[in-house]
Structure 1
Amino acid sequence: MSQAELPIRTVVERYDALVARGSIDRDPAQAALAARLDALNERLETADLAVKGSSLGWLFGRKTPKREPIRGLYIHGEVGRGKTMLMDLFFDLAHVKLKRRVHFHAFMADVQGRIHAARTAILEGRIKGDDPIAPVADAIAAETRLLCFDEFAVYDIADAMILGRLFTRLFEKGVVMVATSNVMPDRLYWDGLNRALFLPFIELLKTYVDVVRLSSATDYRLEKTDLDRSYLTPLGPDADMVLEEVWFRLTGHKRGARVVLPFRGRSIEVPQACGEAARFDFRDLCEKPLGAADYLEIAGHYGTIFVEHVPVMTAQNRNAAKRFINLIDALYDRHVRLVISAAAEPDRLWAGEDGVETFEFQRTASRLTEMRSVEYIAARKDAASTGG
């Protein structure tokens, strides 16, 4: 078997293969993080071999199946630095069988649902005690040894108030956490209601994870996505193919995962999400009852948004046109990077009669044109680096 045919076993090897293929450029900060992720994977494998008492157990010690705490990783940095890419490489290669990779908000929505079910079971006498969080944590720990979170961020007070108790028990049970985030731990739940009650969780987090800042000098999403391929027209197989290529070059994945964002007592569905990028069809965003607040919520979670199959709009789909106007306003205001496939150039997307929409669409067309420019991308990058 040639060297090129040898199976890839480590994050460093897979990272090197991506560099060799020209998919990414080598970055010292990324390479260093890849090595740290490999070291964590090795610690997990060694600890689990010791617990199992396998035929190699004598190498690692046979005593007791109790797991010693293993420090995870909390990886933070600006958008587009490769945090999610590296975590996903690690997750794919991790030897742990009980592993879960999930968007943090989806995880917390699942936790809140389990807590509600546990409270009901306590009231009905099916669970002893009066703490619904403990059985939920125990169930998660039984299912999961390695938890990988994308987009670790805390906005909701209900989440903030349970995280300390939940993760105290998860960490005690030996669950190892790896997370990506746009903010350092000390900035979590910043300006949140009753934040003082949340601060012990931050100290707990720093006790059980190593905090790593990924400070690559380049925004790889922008480097690998040419400006002239951010607005694709006309619609058809060629546009679809190019958009697929841009998505893959940006995320490293052919498809993203479905994510549900809890918002104001309801849910916003994201058909495909991968790290800091999300992908929608026009119908997902503009033919469903979504408003400006929903679009701002989406823009707050993702630095790059893909919108496919935008049609030419007329009075017959006026409501969809108004939502499209609100969508572009929200993405523009939040400096979100937009990759779009459309039936026509921006100034030809509205073909209705003169009226309010005609006037408003002039602004939309202007913004769509600006969002393709080097100046907009630079402004978006500056806003991301300052937390704007």
Structure 2
Amino acid sequence: MSCSLARRLQWGTVSTRATSSPIEPGPPHSLCERRPQVSVERLVDELEPPWRFEGVRFDTYIPDPNHPSQADAVTRLAAFAAGVGAERRDPGGIRGWFSRKPAAPTGPRGVYLDGGYGVGKTHLLASVWHAAPVPAHQKAFGTFVELTNLVGALGFRDTVRVLGGYRLLCIDEFELDDPGDTVLVSSLLSKLVEAGVSLAATSNTLPGKLGEGRFAAADFLREIQGLSAHFQPLRIDGEDYRHRGLPEAPPPYADEVVAKTARTTSGASLDHFPHLLGHLSQVHPSRYGALIEGVRLVCLTGVAPVPDQSTALRLVVLADRLYDAEIPVIASGVPFDRLFGEDMLRGGYRKKYYRAISRLTALARDAKPLGDTDGAS
């Protein structure tokens, strides 16, 4: 983004951006050897659609004719995007009033896309960001995890100051996993709405159902209802487009095939899956994007069911970052649809796990031409 963090905060400079060095051609590298450091400035600068969604627009979304809600969503979201920035006032008084309409909007200032994984919600959310008729430095796009990470890095007050300078905030993969996040995000979004920021979000859970199955939602009903009041829900039905009309995911390969593919592919990483899971516990999820920076192919040996929920949730974040960066994955061991046990797939995080399976399967399919040169197990 062209507007620096220091300019938004108005309290001076921040640390120089520090990242992992891109992987150079040669022998495969190990992600376990990388310990990236991510500055606060980078967290802010990265509040834009990921590379995978840089070129998406409303007219590149292909609605499933069997699910009319998809075409309806395109129409309604395009209208929402066109109205972003119609009237607002910068809380710091720098830009003054921006007005295209004589009256301030009433009712929810945001739209909330609810639907299963793979129906194109992120595509549509990124399209809202691209279509909104305001400069790029006045609109932000990030996942729910990135949003909470930003609060952790800046503090609540300065996060309000930074995000309050935008005219649109798009939040992908909206989830409330604990009471602290519920109160935090409810308070944050309330402040942003007061500042005139328009909101758009995606999730697999309707606003009134946020937090169900993950904590005692009834104890925080007031905060959850407050969040819901900021959004107009928009349901999107359909099947996972990543598997619609496509062949099944390739079976796992032999360890030797994975290792050989890593050695013969420029920019590949090679890790033993259990070791990588252990390494993820030592790297904050906000750094997972930097962890895979410069990688062109992820090679994993010994993929096995994830042992516990904390590890599983970290793997979900890694899968999201790999998918955003369009990095193929080739692996040995168990298929990706056996990563999470039945108890996990029946629990409160099941939609996250299914999304991870879906995305890793798509990335495995992308890597199939490379693996097939040596043959599957």
Q: Fold match, TM over 0.5?
A: yes
Return the alpha-carbon distance in structure 2 between the equivalents of residues 138 and 44 of structure 1: 19
* Aligned partner of 2:227 among 177, 195, 205: 205
Match of 1:96 in 2: 134
Tell whether the 8 Å contact from 1:145 to 1:174 is kept in structure 2 after alignment: yes
1:32 maps to a residue whose letter is D
Return the alpha-carbon distance in structure 1 between the equivalents of residues 85 and 163 of structure 2: 20
Tell whether the 8 Å contact from 2:141 to 2:169 is kept in structure 1 after alignment: yes
Return the alpha-carbon distance in structure 1 between the equivalents of residues 61 and 212 of structure 2: 36
Return the alpha-carbon distance in structure 2 between the equivalents of residues 17 and 102 of structure 1: 21
Tell whether the 8 Å contact from 1:149 to 1:180 is kept in structure 2 after alignment: yes
How many angstroms does 1:113 deviate by? 2.1
The verdict on how the C-alpha distance between 1:33 and 1:18 changes in structure 2, with shifts beyond 3 A counting, is closer
How many angstroms does 1:202 deviate by? 2.1
Match of 1:252 in 2: none
SS in 1 for 2:169: strand
After superposing the two structures, state which structure 1 stretch, 174-183 or 27-36, moved more: 27-36
Match of 1:189 in 2: 211
* Aligned partner of 2:339 among 330, 349, 360: 330
Find out whether 1:172 has 2:212 as its counterpart: no
Tell whether the 8 Å contact from 1:15 to 1:31 is kept in structure 2 after alignment: no
2:181 maps to a residue whose letter is D
Match of 2:23 in 1: none
Match of 2:147 in 1: 107
Match of 1:145 in 2: 167
The one-character-per-residue Cα deviations of 1:79-114 (angstroms, maximum 9, x if unpaired) are 111111111111112112311110111110111222
Match of 1:75 in 2: 113
The verdict on how the C-alpha distance between 1:108 and 1:14 changes in structure 2, with shifts beyond 3 A counting, is closer
The one-character-per-residue Cα deviations of 1:128-160 (angstroms, maximum 9, x if unpaired) are xxxxx3453233212x22110110001133322
Relative contact order higher in (CA < 8 Å, ≥ 6 apart): 2
How many angstroms does 1:328 deviate by? 7.0
The verdict on how the C-alpha distance between 1:183 and 1:191 changes in structure 2, with shifts beyond 3 A counting, is same
TM-score by length of 1: 0.54
Tell me how large the CA RMSD over aligned residues is.
4.4
Return the alpha-carbon distance in structure 1 between the equivalents of residues 252 and 142 of structure 2: 30
SS in 2 for 1:148: strand
The verdict on how the C-alpha distance between 1:25 and 1:105 changes in structure 2, with shifts beyond 3 A counting, is same
Alignment of 1:335-374 (within 5 A): 336-337=357-358, 338-339=361-362, 340=364, 341=367, 342=371, 348=377
Return the alpha-carbon distance in structure 1 between the equivalents of residues 336 and 101 of structure 2: 56
Pair member with larger Rg? 1
Match of 1:256 in 2: none
Q: What is the percentage of aligned positions where both structures have the same residue?
A: 20
Match of 1:87 in 2: 125
* Aligned partner of 1:296 among 306, 309, 312: 312
The verdict on how the C-alpha distance between 1:204 and 1:326 changes in structure 2, with shifts beyond 3 A counting, is same
Match of 1:123 in 2: none
The verdict on how the C-alpha distance between 1:309 and 1:136 changes in structure 2, with shifts beyond 3 A counting, is closer
Return the alpha-carbon distance in structure 2 between the equivalents of residues 158 and 34 of structure 1: 34
The verdict on how the C-alpha distance between 1:270 and 1:30 changes in structure 2, with shifts beyond 3 A counting, is farther
How many angstroms does 1:282 deviate by? 2.2
Return the alpha-carbon distance in structure 1 between the equivalents of residues 337 and 248 of structure 2: 18
* Aligned partner of 2:248 among 227, 251, 258: 227
Tell whether the 8 Å contact from 1:295 to 1:327 is kept in structure 2 after alignment: no
The one-character-per-residue Cα deviations of 1:354-378 (angstroms, maximum 9, x if unpaired) are xxxxxxxxxxxxxxxxxxxxxxxxx
TM-score by length of 2: 0.56
Unaligned runs of 5+ in 1: 1-12, 116-132, 241-262, 273-278, 312-323, 349-388
Match of 1:136 in 2: 159
Alignment of 1:55-66 (within 5 A): 60-61=101-102
Alignment of 1:227-246 (within 5 A): 227=248
